Amino acid sequence: MARSKDENKEEAIFRATLKVVLERGFSGMKMSEVAREASIATGTLYLYFQDKDDLINRLYLHLKKIQAQRYLEGYAADAPFLPGFRTIWFQVFRQSLHNPEESAFLEQYYRSPFLREEVRSASRSMLQPIYDLLDRGKAELLIKPIHNEVLLAQLIGPIHELVRLHREGDFPLLDEHIESAFQMAWDAVKA
Amino acid sequence: MARSKDENKEEAIFRATLKVVLERGFSGMKMSEVAREASIATGTLYLYFQDKDDLINRLYLHLKKIQAQRYLEGYAADAPFLPGFRTIWFQVFRQSLHNPEESAFLEQYYRSPFLREEVRSASRSMLQPIYDLLDRGKAELLIKPIHNEVLLAQLIGPIHELVRLHREGDFPLLDEHIESAFQMAWDAVKA
DNA sequence: GGGTAAAATGAATAAATATTCATTAATTTT
DNA sequence: AAAATTAATGAATATTTATTCATTTTACCC
């Protein structure tokens, strides 16, 4: 009957939005610039997204889903504890390091006026497998019997901070540093 | 000769700006709203600050200075290592927990288009005493011989993350959790 | 290949918001 | 207490930027 929407367009808009937010900051993101970056007209944005708010929230969910997937890549819930722990730690690290734009966007979203409670809680539940792993570690007496959130903060926090310092404070991030960081993470939580 | 500027006004504007940024996000901060919050006219803002950019950058430096001071409160550079380490850790934690607005502002600034390189490097040097402490710990073989930035990430990261999870994920932060967090921090870095 | 329906365009409009400036108020000096 | 000088005001202006919509282009069907 008529032409159909370009399937790849939404993805292209997402990519463009991410790039612009990274360059200009959350506040400096202009719809017109996103459109230019995606090589489409400003008006076309509004065919795919209701408004700026909708664009940002859907991008957030999109990225969060990808991030959560990557966190769990290569992880088998039935593997022994320590290898599972190590796998996830390195996945989180890799994700943070190799996709700093995505990480930055996700972090910023939390502080932005665009944040919606429903979206936040949805993204929280994506980390369930990690909570499960921690529970198992405690049950097997391999890690300290500490509240999951506290353990999680101990694991995720240094990774984020390390990558941030690396990208901002221009110090090289050698394999040796990464191994040290993992060793510290493990020393921190092990029983 | 003529009336003089109100000494407290700059501070009042800082306070108002912080509040507005926290409520509305970095992007939603309007000069008019800041003025209203500070109980002055919009135009008055421009007597004290060149423009929005100037206001934000000066507020950043102001807060960063306060934060760095608080980090080192009660810390004596000539005390034995572990007590010094503990003192600073708890100061960082307290500062994060009790002044989340300030912390949030400082974090957001890094991702904002307002960031100026000069300002960033100035703020970096404020943490020098902490780097010195880490050097001493390594010299005394008390902590792992790891690059300072990696150690710092390990120490600061979990604190920020923990406070963030606490404020967002509404789980209670008991003394017991805080002690656990410190214990993990120490286990992580100790030789 | 002509008809048609939806997609895409981008200039025009509407809103939002930073900044200015003519005016008023307050304080100090003489 | 009048003059002088600067602070403060806030409505008006300038600017920026989200959103709309009349028009054009494209893809699909007969």
Q: What is the pLDDT of residue A26?
A: 78
Q: What is the pLDDT of residue B2?
A: 61
> Is the C-alpha dihedral spanning A144, A146, A148, A151 positive or negative?
negative
CA atoms of B103 and B109, how far apart (whole Å): 10
Q: For chain A, what is the mean pLDDT?
A: 90
CA atoms of B139 and A131, how far apart (whole Å): 38
Residues of chain A found within 8 Å of residue B134, distances taken between Cβ atoms: none
Angle between helices A52-72 and A81-98 (to 10 degrees): 140
**For a pLDDT cut of 70, what percent of chain A falls above it?**
96
B1–chain A nearest CA distance, Å: 43
Residue type for position B11: E
- Which strand (E) or helix (H) includes residue B156? helix B148-168
Q: Is the CB of B134 under 7 A from strand C?
A: no
Residues of chain A found within 8 Å of residue B153, distances taken between Cβ atoms: 158, 161-162, 164-165, 181
pLDDT, one tens digit per residue, over A86-103 is 999 999 999 999 998 898
Residues with CB under 7 A from strand D: A 1-4, 28-32, 42-43, 46, 51-53; B 1-6, 9, 39-44, 46-48
Q: What is the pLDDT of residue B110?
A: 78
Nearest DNA or RNA nucleotide to A44 (CA to C1'): C8
Q: What is the pLDDT of residue A20?
A: 92
Residues of chain B found within 8 Å of residue A160, distances taken between Cβ atoms: 157, 161
Evaluate whether A113 touches B25 at the Cβ level (below 8 Å): yes
Q: What is the pLDDT of residue B83?
A: 94
How would residue A138 be classed by pLDDT, with cut points 50, 70 and 90?
Answer: very high
Q: What is the pLDDT of residue B165?
A: 87
Q: How far is CA B108 from CA A9, A175, B34, B101, in A?
A: 30, 29, 18, 10
Q: What is the pLDDT of residue B87?
A: 94
* Length A54 CA → C26 C1' (Å): 50
Residues of chain B found within 8 Å of residue A188, distances taken between Cβ atoms: 154, 158, 184-185, 187-188
Interchain pair A184, B146: CB under 8 A: yes
Q: How far is CA A49 from CA A2, A10, A11, A44, A101, in A?
A: 21, 9, 12, 9, 21
B121, closest residue in chain A (CA to CA): A169
Evaluate whether A86 touches A75 at the Cβ level (below 8 Å): no
Alpha helices (H) in B29-116, listed in sequence order: 31-37, 42-48, 52-72, 81-98, 100-111
Specify the length of chain A in residues. 191
Q: What is the pLDDT of residue B7?
A: 67
Among candidates A26, A166, A184 on the partner chain, residue whose Cβ is nearest the Cβ of B188: A184
pLDDT exceeds 70 at position A79? yes
Among candidates B110, B153, B181 on the partner chain, residue whose Cβ is nearest the Cβ of A150: B181
pLDDT exceeds 70 at position A2? no
Interchain pair B111, A26: CB under 8 A: yes
Q: Please name the residue whose C-alpha is nearest to the C1' of nucleotide C29.
A: B1
Dig out the tokens for B119 from the structure: 């300002």
pLDDT exceeds 90 at position A80? yes
**A56: closest CA among A84, A17, A30, A23?**
A17
Residue type for position B179: E
Angle at A56 between CA A43 and CA A59, to 5 degrees: 105
pLDDT exceeds 70 at position A185? yes
| DSSP code string of chain A | ------TTHHHHHHHHHHHHHHHHTTTT--HHHHHHHHTS-HHHHHHH-SSHHHHHHHHHHHHHHHHHHHHHTT--TTS-HHHHHHHHHHHHHHHHHH-HHHHHHHHHHHHSTT--HHHHHHHHHTTHHHHHHHHHHHHTT-B----HHHHHHHHHHHHHHHHHHHHHTT----HHHHHHHHHHHHHHHB-
Q: What is the pLDDT of residue B16?
A: 93
B125, closest residue in chain A (CA to CA): A169
Q: Is the CB of B52 under 7 A from strand C?
A: yes
To 10 degrees, the CA torsion angle through A9, A10, A14, A20?
50
Q: What is the pLDDT of residue B23?
A: 80
B61–chain A nearest CA distance, Å: 17
* Length B27 CA → C14 C1' (Å): 20
Q: What is the CA radius of gyration of chain B?
A: 19
CA atoms of B154 and A155, how far apart (whole Å): 9
pLDDT exceeds 60 at position A135? yes
pLDDT, one tens digit per residue, over A149-184 is 999 999 999 999 999 889 877 689 999 999 999 999
* Length B67 CA → D9 C1' (Å): 34
Q: How many CB atoms lie within 10 A of CB B79?
A: 14
Q: What is the pLDDT of residue B4?
A: 65
Q: What is the pLDDT of residue A125?
A: 86
Interchain pair B111, A25: CB under 8 A: yes
User: What is the pTM assigned to this prediction?
Assistant: 0.85
Q: Which of A106, A147, A150 to mutate to test the interface with B (most CBs of B within 10 A)?
A: A150
CA atoms of A21 and A109, how far apart (whole Å): 11
pLDDT exceeds 90 at position A42? yes
| DSSP code string of B111-149 | HSTT--HHHHHHHHHTTHHHHHHHHHHHHTT-B----HH
Residue type for position B72: L
Q: Which residue stretches of chain B have pLDDT < 70?
A: 1-7, 170
Tell me phi and psi for residue B112, to 5 degrees. Answer: -90, 160
